[in-house]
Amino acid sequence: MAIDLVTRREWGARQPRGAYGRLSSTRGVKVHYTGGQVSPDIVGDHARCVALVRSIQNHHMDGNGWIDVGYSLLVCPHRKVFEGRGPNHLPAANGSGLNSGHYAVLGLVGSTGFTQPTDDVLHGILDAVEYLRDKGGAGDEIKGHRDGYSTDCPGGPLYAWVRRGAPRPGGGPTDPPDPHPSFPGRVLKYPPVMVGEDVRTWQRQMRRRGWDIDVDGLYGEASRDACRAFQREKGLSATGAVNRATWQATWEEPVT
Ligand SMILES: [Zn+2]
Ligand SMILES: [Zn+2]
């Protein structure tokens, strides 16, 4: 099912007060909840979702003094995804210093009242995550706000789901795993600097795995050093050169 986006115009968003910071990619997404009281009546009344999203934006702009709502996307119990700052824009909700690493996706779930994320909330969050991967270069990570920041967010039930690997609920069709690109047929190594799409493909996958590496298509010193560290981690011969075995490990080895 395609994402069911609610545009900013549709939910009556205020204009941002300034320009967003730009993001070309992130390591992934952090999941949030609203916390506080969310009336269980929200499940039967989408108008309440719209009102809640607007009140969150007001709180972020007028209370926190932010230029806009702090989330990238906001998900309601009707599997609708409200546009926040959107892909390629720096969010604000993850906490200082933690916004360039992950987009921020909110589920409209409280700490009292409506506290259990329904299947449609979980599907909606995953629709949002896929959209951010597709449009905003989000990597594979799905984490909770509390990972690396002192907060209860995203609450017990949502965090437990994140820790289980954020599966699609209900045994519905699962998404095929990322296609594993075949070895390009040349060993990526340095020096001299090697240039190419194969370099970029490998760097993108390393970045998805959490390595701090530029996805620039240039295999230089930084790529070599990351490669060598990865090879050591996986018990491969630490040559700093991406041969067939290292290429395959980059897709097949579990992320630790
Ligand atoms: Zn949060
Ligand atoms: Zn709704």
pLDDT of 170 strictly over 80: no
- Tell me how far apart the alpha carbons of residues 43 and 173 are, in angstroms, rounded to a whole number: 24
Distance from residue 76's CA to the centre of ligand 2 (Å): 4
Q: Mean pLDDT throughout 104-123? A: 96
Q: Relative to the alpha carbon of 47, which ligand is closest?
A: 2
pLDDT of 165 strictly over 60: yes
Residue found under tokens 């702090």: 70
pLDDT of residue 208: 86
- Helix (H, G, I), strand (E, B), or coil: what is residue 235? coil
Confidence of residue 172 (pLDDT cuts 50, 70, 90): very low
Q: Relative to the alpha carbon of 99, which ligand is closest?
A: 1
pLDDT of residue 173: 47
pLDDT of residue 123: 96
Q: Mean pLDDT throughout 44-48? A: 95
Q: Relative to the alpha carbon of 60, which ligand is closest?
A: 1
Q: Relative to the alpha carbon of 33, which ligand is closest?
A: 1
Digit-coded pLDDT (tens) for 191-250:
999 999 899 999 999 988 888 899 899 999 999 999 999 999 999 999 999 999 999 999
Confidence of residue 174 (pLDDT cuts 50, 70, 90): very low
| CATH architecture label of 188-252 | Orthogonal Bundle (1.10)
CA atoms within 13 A on the CB side of 246: 27
Residues 130 and 3 sit within 8 Å (Cβ to Cβ): yes
For the chain, the average pLDDT equals 93
Distance from residue 149's CA to the centre of ligand 1 (Å): 9
pLDDT of residue 249: 95
Question: How many other CB atoms are there within 10 angstroms of residue 81's CB atom?
Answer: 19
- Domains in the chain: boundaries: 5-164, 188-252
- Tell me how far apart the alpha carbons of residues 119 and 168 are, in angstroms, rounded to a whole number: 8
Choose the weakest-confidence range: 85-89, 108-112, 175-179, 205-209. Answer: 175-179
Residue 119 sits at φ, ψ, to 5 deg, of -55, -40
Q: Relative to the alpha carbon of 155, which ligand is closest?
A: 1
pLDDT of 19 strictly over 60: yes
Q: Relative to the alpha carbon of 120, which ligand is closest?
A: 2
Digit-coded pLDDT (tens) for 195-212:
998 999 999 999 888 888
Distance from residue 185's CA to the centre of ligand 1 (Å): 44
pLDDT of 179 strictly over 70: no
pLDDT of residue 175: 47
Residue found under tokens 């309440």: 48
Distance from residue 254's CA to the centre of ligand 1 (Å): 27
Distance from residue 80's CA to the centre of ligand 2 (Å): 6
Residues 89 and 56 sit within 8 Å (Cβ to Cβ): no
- Tell me how far apart the alpha carbons of residues 45 and 74 are, in angstroms, rounded to a whole number: 16
pLDDT of residue 171: 58
Distance from residue 157's CA to the centre of ligand 1 (Å): 14
Residues 161 and 122 sit within 8 Å (Cβ to Cβ): yes
Distance from residue 113's CA to the centre of ligand 1 (Å): 18
pLDDT of 77 strictly over 50: yes
Residues 87 and 103 sit within 8 Å (Cβ to Cβ): yes
Distance from residue 98's CA to the centre of ligand 2 (Å): 28
Confidence of residue 5 (pLDDT cuts 50, 70, 90): very high
Distance from residue 37's CA to the centre of ligand 2 (Å): 16
Percent of the chain with pLDDT over 70: 96
pLDDT of residue 169: 85
Distance from residue 161's CA to the centre of ligand 2 (Å): 21
pLDDT of residue 231: 97
Q: Relative to the alpha carbon of 29, which ligand is closest?
A: 1
pLDDT of residue 93: 97
| CATH class of domain segment(s) 5-164 | alpha beta
Q: Relative to the alpha carbon of 150, which ligand is closest?
A: 1
- Tell me how far apart the alpha carbons of residues 203 and 14 are, in angstroms, rounded to a whole number: 38
Provide the pairing of β-strand 73-75 with 102-107.
parallel
Q: Relative to the alpha carbon of 38, which ligand is closest?
A: 2
- Helix (H, G, I), strand (E, B), or coil: what is residue 104? strand
Distance from residue 139's CA to the centre of ligand 1 (Å): 19
pLDDT of 178 strictly over 60: no
Please give the C-alpha separations between residue 233 and each of 211, 218, 253, in angstroms, as whole numbers: 12, 23, 10
pLDDT of 63 strictly over 50: yes
